[in-house]
Amino acid sequence: MNWTDEIFLNFCRGKIDDFYSYLYPDLLIYASSRLSGNDVTTAEDLVQDAVEKAYLNAESFSSAAQWKAFIITCIRNRAISLIRKENAKGNYLNETFNPSMLTRDVMTDYIEVETRTRLFNAIATLPPELRQIFNLSFEEGLRNPEIAARLGVAEITIKKRKARLITRLRDIFGISPELILAIKILS
């Protein structure tokens, strides 16, 4: 049994701590990306509504994959509804509305969330110095000279650590479509 199956079974039993620790952050990132990242509070509402629907229908799911796909679909559909509603109001969405998000299929969204989950789980297994490089580089968007200054090390040290970080991630993911998608997510 993999960890998603275990979280699913616990969720169905009413034990949701693991869900909120491991899956909720990825779903929140996904919801935020569907809303063009502008409204974290609304993204949280989307995820909470989807979780509530999943919880109320827990007995109808035959697998963790079906359960997770249901939650992602709920988030996606609600995000599209909100965007359409705001667009109909003629609000500021001319700047932020991305029509391509209406044509993406649920499977693509599912794969993106699953890959992001695997990526962040892989990063959690890295040594602290590599996790720190990841956070400063990819999460905070700092360049090598800025990271070197912040850590008080030479820029070449940062380049070597980044190379080790990428090598470790390649070892974890192998050469696969998941690696390509993970790199796309990091870009």
Tens digit of each residue's pLDDT (9 = 90 or more) over 26-42: 888 888 888 876 678 88
Q: List pLDDT tens digits, range 70-115.
A: 999 899 888 888 877 776 555 444 444 455 555 567 777 777 787 7
- Segment 48-59 shows an average pLDDT of 91
Query: Who has greater pLDDT, 2 or 16?
Result: 16
Q: Indicate the pTM of the whole model.
A: 0.56
Range 32-49 burial, b when 16+ CB lie within 10 A, else e: bbbbeeeeeeebeebbee
Residue 15: is it exposed, middle or buried by C-beta count within 10 angstroms (0-12/13-18/19+)? exposed
Nearest to 31 by CA among 17, 41, 21: 41
Range 73-107 burial, b when 16+ CB lie within 10 A, else e: ebbbebbeebbeeeeeeeeebeeeeeeebeeeeee
Q: List pLDDT tens digits, range 123-151.
A: 888 899 998 988 888 777 788 898 999 99
Tokens of 83: 């965007």
- Segment 7-33 shows an average pLDDT of 86
State which amino acid sits at residue 22: Y
C-alpha–C-alpha distance, residues 12 and 59, integer Å: 7
Predicted confidence at residue 38, as pLDDT, reads: 61
Report the chain's mean pLDDT, rounded to a whole number: 80
Predicted confidence at residue 95, as pLDDT, reads: 46
SS3 131: helix
Can you tell me which residue has the tokens 């969204």?
109
